[in-house]
Structure 1
């Protein structure tokens, strides 16, 4: 089985600042293209200053990716350590559509257009 490095797969999309939800769609589409599945979750996380807010995460083979706060319209994707077991137990599974890579390119073009308007 071929080794997959998700960070390498995401490199062509680094210039796009997508919403947190669209970041999950991007990861799901890239992994789906390789025949891989993932879990998309909404988890509570502690913000600087101790405030708790919900964020979107993708769990793929035990690798966790923070896609941003649930209301972020411009977020980056970061690989993070796994959340606590308590956070995982309170997680809400998020229904994320699986896009084709063509749909991903259209989504990215829309963001590029919006950024320049």
Structure 2
């Protein structure tokens, strides 16, 4: 990485791994402000599978055609016994996810209808 930056490119890639709407929108706004093709590094988003899906869907569907947005979902892998402590901790850290339940349901239904219309075309 240091060698890459020493060549003077100044590019920095960023992964916003957050379930927080304000953080995601701030990163997207800054990226747009800097310009999509200005030589700025890549911006991607990541969330735990099943959490903040409304943010992921919004990022993928509510963007200009010339704007590439990458969203990654990561899944916990292992037995229930191996994963439960991790998932409980993540749920505790993201208590605000409960407040987003109706928003998540509405976003998922909107995406289902969008895909059904796209499949017919």
Higher relative contact order (CA 8 A, sep 6+): 1
Q: TM-score, normalised by structure 1?
A: 0.25
Q: TM-score, normalised by structure 2?
A: 0.25
Give the number of the structure whose residues are more often helix, by fraction: 2
Which structure has the greater CA radius of gyration? 2
Give the number of the structure whose residues are more often strand, by fraction: 1
